[in-house]
Amino acid sequence: MIFYELYLRSFYDSNEDGLGDLKGLKEKLDYLVELGVDHVWLLPIMKSPAFHGYTVSNFYEVNPVYGNLNDVKEVLSEGHKKGIKFVLDLPINHVAVTSDWFQKALKGEEPYKDWFVWANEKADLNEKRHWDDSKIWQKIGNKYFYGIFGPASPDLYFERKELWQEIKNIFKFWLDAGFDGFRLDAAKHIFDFDTETMRFKYQHEKNVEFWKEMISFIKSIKNEALVISEVWDAPEIVRKYEGIFDIGFNFPIAEDLKTTLKDENTQRFVETLNKCIPEYLPTGKVFSASGNFLTNHDMTRILSDLKSEEKVKLGFSIIYTLPGIPFIYYGEEIGMKGIPIDVNFTEDSQEPFHWYENGFGLGQTEWKGYKFNPPYSGNSYEEQAKDRNSILNIVKNLIKFRKNNSWIDNAKIDILNFDQNVVKLKVYDQLNEIIAYYNLKSSNSSFFLENGTRLLSIGENIIDGKNLKLAPYGVYVVKHK
């Protein structure tokens, strides 16, 4: 499986209003096929007042700037014909302030008034969330509601079981529309509040109970549906949710890999593998597949972070040669840049996809100015397609390699050796085995090459008889048997 995280507003515009839309995606399905993508993770497309779509005002209605439900069904149908499956991002932890549910709750209407958490005398109105200084209690009129993600996002109160049924109705609606599964936003936040003490508190056991019931329902509608979780936390917390979801995003490996590449530290790379994907080591057991990625819509784009195209290529090479499921965020394949202010202001990592080198043309979205990706910066599809060594063409080669070796998804790894420059890794299952060499340094590294058939070579690597001169940040993969 090869996943592509796609932000519709920034992708391709079919009606010249400057905004990407569903018909635009339909026109560019062949681009995804050309890239090698077979699964698309579509960021929220439901009606929302927010540019990012994560505050939903109506879960059963398509955002009109993107099109309508018929457009959804058409693009999914066409994508399916081309071998592409689609996973919808569903942020059900909270709604928009403009949501009909919340507006009725403000008026005291049943059952909606009980679907949210309201402050009482126990509440500390100055309580702040643990990852920054943002308050968790949000004022509206003369009331305060619990909104862990800010004043635009009233949290739903999932102690109310009738709300569980409403969420099931939402899942069924989008499965019936043709989606092949869901990405579940903020999965650990369904139960993150203690109404006894009126304070923030993760309740992972309750979260697990909720998600087991929801996933059982999803699978009863479409047995082959894929369910992907977002649990952004330390490995010990992520493991509390293993086995519930088909795929769990591996945030620890994303963060550790980027630090490893910046520091060019082979020791840290080995420690990262041991810490972040132990389920794929010889004695490990896989309960949920590891969703491996470098960046997403909440993060600094990879080229802005690493500041080196060669390190970016190395990073993608690692992702596409490790077991688990590889994900790529739209625009990373053409070297787009972007640095969000923080998780509350992510526009700068969601700039329009660059189809043209001058930044403008048919289908080009223009909803946001080019802050990080100005015209003639070399990070357009038009320009990248011409250069065989561009990030785009390297990513294409990596995806082709991975699709030709799809057994890697469920493989095991052995760390065979490492020195100050190179890590040597064995990736294998019962029938297949490859040896991957990763050079984490800016200098060449030479060594004796074991017998085998070359499967992948990234960088200006040189073979001289039995010796391999691995290029700076180069990767070499051989089939061992």
**Residue 481: predicted pLDDT:** 60
SS3 74: helix
301 and 380: one domain?
A: yes
Q: Which domain holds residue 416?
A: 412-479
Residue showing tokens 């010889």: 282
CA 269 to chain centre: 21
- Cβ-based burial of 386 (10 A; exposed 0-12, middle 13-18, buried ≥19): exposed
- Asked if 296 and 417 sit in the same domain, the reply is no
User: Would you report the helix, strand and coil content of the chain in percent, each value rounded to 5?
Assistant: 35, 20, 45
pTM of the model: 0.94
Which of 3, 2, 4, 7 has its CA nearest to residue 338? 7
Pinpoint the alpha helices (H) of 293-440.
302-306, 309-321, 381-384, 391-404
Q: Please name the amino acid found at residue 318.
A: I
268 and 362 co-located in one domain: yes
Q: Residue 50's closest CA among 336, 231, 278, 297?
A: 297
CA distance linking residue 102 with residue 57, whole number of Å: 9
Assigned domain for 151 exists = no
Same domain, 428 and 321: no
Which of 341, 334, 265 has the alpha carbon at shortest distance from 303? 334
Flag whether 154 is in a domain.
Answer: no
Amino acid code (one letter) for 479: K
The Cα angle at residue 307 between residues 305 and 310, in degrees rounded to 5: 115
CA angle (222, 209, 411) in 5-degree steps: 60
* Separation CA 380–CA 335 (nearest Å): 8
Active site residues: 185, 230
Does residue 61 share a domain with residue 117? Answer: no
**Cβ atoms within 10 Å, residue 166:** 15
Environment class of residue 414 by beta-carbon count within 10 Å: exposed (0-12), middle (13-18) or buried (19+)?
A: middle
For residue 120, is it within any domain? yes
**Domain annotation covers residue 81:** yes
> Using alpha carbons only, what angle is made at residue 177 by residues 175 and 183, rounded to the nearest 5 degrees?
45
Tell me what pLDDT residue 59 has: 97
What is the CATH classification number for the domain harbouring 397?
A: 3.20.20.80
> CA–CA separation, 15 vs 363, rounded Å?
8
308 phi and psi, to 5 degrees?
-150, 120
Please check whether residue 105 is in contact with residue 111, taking contact to mean a CB–CB distance below 8 angstroms: no
Per-residue pLDDT of the chain in tens (481 residues, 90 and over written 9): 999 999 999 999 999 999 999 999 999 999 999 999 999 999 999 999 999 999 999 999 999 999 999 999 999 999 999 999 999 999 999 999 999 999 999 999 999 999 999 999 999 999 998 888 889 999 999 999 999 999 999 999 999 999 999 999 999 999 999 999 999 988 888 999 988 899 988 888 999 999 999 999 999 999 999 999 888 777 788 778 888 899 998 988 999 999 999 999 999 999 999 999 999 999 989 888 999 999 999 999 999 999 999 999 999 999 999 999 999 999 999 999 999 987 778 889 999 999 999 999 999 999 998 999 999 999 999 999 999 999 999 999 999 999 999 999 999 999 999 999 999 999 999 999 999 999 999 999 888 887 778 899 999 999 887 888 999 999 999 997 6
In a domain, 155, yes or no: no
Question: CA 59, CA 211: separation in Å to the nearest integer?
Answer: 18
Same domain, 65 and 210: yes
Q: Give residues with Cβ within 8 angstroms of 95, minimum separation 6.
A: 55, 56, 57, 101, 102, 153, 154, 156
Give how far Cα 259 sits from Cα of 165, 271, 480, Å: 43, 12, 30
Q: How far is Cα of residue 108 from the mean position of the Cα atoms in its chain?
A: 38
Backbone angles phi, psi at 448, to 5 degrees: -70, 130
Instruction: Give the 3-state secondary structure of residue 226.
Output: strand
- Quick check: bond before 111 cis, omega within 30? yes
Is 315 domain-assigned?
yes
Residue 325 and residue 205 in one domain: yes
Amino acid letter at 5? E
Considering the domain architecture, whether residues 362 and 418 belong to the same structural domain is answered as no
Q: CATH code at 425?
A: 2.60.40.1180
Based on the fold, state whether residues 296 and 364 are members of the same structural domain.
yes
Among residues 117, 146, 175, the one where a domain terminates is 146
249, 391, 67, 270: which is closest to 278 by C-alpha?
Answer: 270
Which residue in the block uniquely carries the two structure tokens 């691995």?
A: 470
For residue 152, the tally of other CB atoms under 10 A from its CB is: 18
Position 160 scores a pLDDT of 93
Let me know if residue 420 belongs to a domain.
yes
Q: How far is 113 from 157, CA to CA, in rounded Å?
A: 10
50, two tokens: 């927010």
Residues 114, 75 share a domain: no
Residue 312's Cβ-count burial label (10 Å; 0-12, 13-18, 19+) is: buried
Q: Which of 404, 438, 454 is the endpoint of a domain?
A: 404
Q: Indicate the number of domains in the chain.
A: 3
Q: What is the pLDDT of residue 241?
A: 81
Residue with tokens 């909803």: 367
Cβ(461)–Cβ(470) under 8 Å? yes
216 and 319, same structural domain?
yes
Whether residue 59 lies inside any domain: the answer is: yes
> What does the longest C-alpha to C-alpha distance in the chain come to?
79
Which of 376, 404, 432 is the last residue in one of the domains? Answer: 404
Asked if residue 191 and residue 65 are part of one domain, the reply reads: yes
